[in-house]
A and B are shown apart, each in its own frame.
Chain A
């Protein structure tokens, strides 16, 4: 980081909904990188901003916060970065505070807190479209005089005011302007001095005055975690200081807000009155009369969610087909090119191209969903949706913001899990991620269609078939509710959920540029972050299905087949010409034999007793096991194990017929039909509940960590097994 230290560092802070991120994007363009602060899930965004032709500054976009009271992770990170406590990020040379012109007091509260950290400041008065109105220029000058720092009007969404901001920053780096601070009453000054003596003078702690204030005003300040002094020693000191403050007539929990607003209000009153005339809040409020209406609000909400959900399904469809087609074509090319080396051919065509294709195929759904999510967020509707839905989710530790990610998971859990980033409460976000795989995604549909088409519809008619399909989509959500409740009861019990306070921002027309940017970022993240893991997994599973591969298997199957065909038992030799159909049938048998001999096939036979209570024979067991990386694989695996060849889909009548006719080849039930209605139901229930999706697993690991990913994988597998066994055993009573 040697070069970074010579570069100027500028931190961007501001309330949520002030256009801070838009400003960050306007200043840095594509020159940004996103990561996480070490050890936490808070996004760390750093960009490069060309201040002028010769000078770049490092711009750090801090999470949007209302205050620096450090009770949430976002606020903690903000304080830590401003105070220079983050490894590799020395204290910034300057802060730009983004202030929404319509909420001056509230926004300047944050600026006022930041002013205590001794960092020079520039205020970007971001004003959306109000900037055009007269009077703002003079207000900026007035604010500058009163606050003591440069105030620059900007319209971040249109990249306006960025030049002026650059000039102001150049200037401020030299002049180091500090924002006016409140004149604290002597009781507060005494309290700060007391802590200064105790921590800085006596114990040599490196703390800013601003951080000492945080220790006084915030009950559970994150600053405490940085103290070298053991808690037992400082706990008493802080308690004493707070008690003294209380005795002097200042409730320490309330004093900061009251004193800062008492300082800010007189500075802003006349300006705000003038601004009030410019405000156009009324439009937002009248739209909300409809969108938050007790009845019509819900109607609109359901309508919108229907559109989102349908679009993720249908708009993405053609592109997914295209990717699948492309994957198939690539596989053919690779297959033909590598025909001379069968192992390499299989590794590249089936393992790598097939595996990566099966994962890239989710990209269209992710892009469509994020198009809608950014549309909902940008326009301001997302907060309304959460407002409408909150009560439904509150009881199990989730909140209204869980709705969109969970609904999206019905199309695919991967975009759903990525969408949980809109949930600011870490616990609610975690629970939402963990139950998202239970929502019945579109990859389960082929399994349902195949089995319902083969075993339910012929016997009970289309109405029951439809009901069965609906039930399969519902069963996961039914189980998700108690699981969420349990997680909420057990996870971090001491940690109270983050309060559900949410601003309902004014409605705005979304910007295409921002929407495209969101889509690009989510897509890139998915491909890069999850891709590597999935790639490794597909190769491993391929190997388990491919090896060992002794040529004897092929010879044995061929000779058995030929003798069967020619009707006599002696080793009818090499020269018999097979018809093309017969040759295809032989190839399928060879595939089936290889699969049976593979490590996965042997393993399937070995663990079949575990699945016996659910009614599965070894072939279904292999199908289930092979489907762990991607559940849709079950169809083609069943195709192979029942010797039909790999090119099978759920509507294939051959496959349906073969399944209905399949018999147990050994064991106590030898000769009985393998598939009956209970087995079909049991398989569907297993697939509905089990997390058979390597991509989802990888995404959970990236969003939380590997222990959670593996933990939820194991839990869901056990839950799915229990449910499948129960389904089979209970429904057998009725057959």
Chain B
């Protein structure tokens, strides 16, 4: 499953990230790495961007970037 597809309920774990993507490379420097737990907290009114919580912080990112992160449901 990809990060842009997850629903608000439930906790997820990052399995794979595409580090070719500049946004993702930045998120990795913030700790978004394989093994990291993550959950969806908010969706913007028009569906994009989304906000996710990991490592105690809330980050907003666009769906196109979220699609570069693979997750599994816990």
* Interface positions of A (Cβ within 8 A of B): 66-67, 69, 71, 102-103, 105-106, 109, 251, 253-254, 256-258, 261, 276, 279, 281, 284-285, 288, 292, 294-295, 297-298, 383, 386-388, 390-392, 394, 496, 499-505
Contact = CB atoms under 8 A, between A and B. Distances in A.
A481 to B, nearest CB: 16
Interface string B26-46: 111111010000000111111
A499 B23 contact: yes
A505 B51 CA distance: 11
B48 A109 contact: no
Nearest to A258: B33
B62 A500 contact: yes
A285 B46 contact: no
Given A103-B57, A504-B60, 6 more contacts: A253-B19, A257-B29, A292-B42, A391-B46, A501-B26, A504-B58
| Dominant secondary structure at the A interface | helix
Contacts of A254: 17, 19, 25, 28, 33
A586 to B, nearest CB: 64
B61 interface: yes
Given A66-B29, A67-B26, A496-B22, A392 B46 contact: yes
Contacts of B20: 253
Given A66-B26, A499-B23, A288 B42 contact: yes
Interface string B9-20: 000000001011
A695 to B, nearest CB: 34
B56 A387 contact: no
Given A254-B17, A298-B45, A66 B30 contact: yes
Given A67-B29, A257-B28, A499 B22 contact: yes
A165 B37 CA distance: 35
Contacts of B56: 102-103, 276, 279, 281
B65 interface: yes
Contacts of B29: 66-67, 69, 109, 256-257
A390 B25 contact: no
B49 A387 contact: yes
A106 B44 contact: no
6 A-B pairs with the lowest CB-CB distances in the bound complex, closest first: A499-B23, A67-B29, A253-B19, A391-B46, A504-B58, A257-B28
Contact of A297 (B19, B23, B45, B60): B45
Nearest to A110: B29
A261 B33 contact: yes
Residue from A66, A501, A503 having most chain B Cβ neighbours under 10 A: A501
Contacts of A501: 23, 26-27, 59-61, 65
11 contacts: A67-B30, A69-B29, A71-B25, A103-B55, A106-B55, A253-B20, A261-B33, A294-B45, A387-B44, A394-B62, A500-B61
Nearest to B47: A391
Nearest to A294: B45
Contacts of A102: 56
Nearest to B17: A254
Contacts of A261: 31, 33
Interface of B: 17, 19-20, 22-23, 25-31, 33, 41-49, 51, 55-62, 65
Given A253-B20, A298-B45, A502 B60 contact: yes
B44 A391 contact: yes
Contacts of B26: 66-67, 69, 71, 499, 501
A109 B42 contact: no
A643 B39 CA distance: 71
Nearest to A279: B56
Nearest to A104: B56
Contacts of A504: 51, 58-60
Contacts of B23: 499-501
A504 B56 CA distance: 11
A298 B44 CA distance: 10
Given A103-B55, A253-B19, A253-B20, A499 B48 contact: no
B12 to A, nearest CB: 17
A292 B46 contact: no
Contact of B41 (A69, A106, A285, A505): A285
A287 to B, nearest CB: 12
Contact of B43 (A71, A105, A279, A294): A294
A292 B57 CA distance: 16
B73 to A, nearest CB: 21
Contacts of A285: 41, 58
A105 B30 CA distance: 8
Contacts of B28: 254, 257-258
A120 B53 CA distance: 33
A288 B30 contact: no
Contact of A388 (B17, B25, B45): B45
Contacts of B59: 501-504
Contacts of B49: 387, 390-391, 500
A185 B47 CA distance: 43
A387 B47 CA distance: 11
Contacts of B33: 254, 257-258, 261
A390 B60 CA distance: 10
Nearest to A506: B58
A187 to B, nearest CB: 17
Given A106-B55, A279-B56, A390 B22 contact: no
B60 A253 contact: no
A109 B58 CA distance: 17
B31 A387 contact: no
Contacts of B55: 103, 105-106
Contacts of A257: 25, 28-29, 31, 33
A106 B30 contact: yes
A106 B47 CA distance: 28
A74 to B, nearest CB: 12
A721 B62 CA distance: 39
A298 B43 CA distance: 12
A383 B42 contact: no
Nearest to A275: B56
A387 B52 CA distance: 12
B19 to A, nearest CB: 4
A284 B41 CA distance: 12
Contacts of A103: 55-57
A499 B58 contact: no
Contacts of B17: 254
User: Which among A298, A499, A500 has the highest number of chain B CB atoms within 10 Å?
Assistant: A499
